[in-house]
Amino acid sequence: MLFFKTKKVLKSVANGHVLPLEAVKDEVFSSKMMGEGYAINQHDGNVYAPIEGVVESIFPTLHAITIESKTGEKLLIHMGLDTVELKGRPFSIKVVQGQKVKTGTLLASMDLSQLEKAEKDATIIVVFPEMTKGELMKENQNVTLQDELFKF
């Protein structure tokens, strides 16, 4: 009997436009120093869980959330570029540390007008800090929460 490795896939974290990490205007992410993944821009500010798991941490500045998937991978969802200095003001977190989430659970809302006033890029970056392999399944196109974007 043959056993097949289960296909693990991340869905979109937002309704928007998917980009490869190389297109992100932040060298730490675009050079993949933070791991493999994808980015979403041109979104409505709502950020959803792209995978089932548990909220491992919420950064004190509210700009980033980590989720541990039910299969053990750690996932970082980083909201905006250079947003740490905004001290959480544009972010409304909808989950708590330790909370179980399903794919599609609303994690946070970003106030896009506040980000624009602060001249910050609202791109959402989704990376696996401990992973160097994976495949972006779609890029440079509009996507919805139902779209499978990243295979690992």
> Is 78 one of the annotated active-site residues of the chain?
yes
What one-character-per-residue DSSP string does 27-57 give?
HHHHTTTT-EEEEEES--SEEE-SSSEEEEE
Q: Which of 17, 43, 63, 78 is catalytic?
A: 78
CB atoms inside a 10 Å sphere around CB 140: 9
CA pair distance 146, 15, nearest whole angstrom: 9
What are the catalytic residues?
78
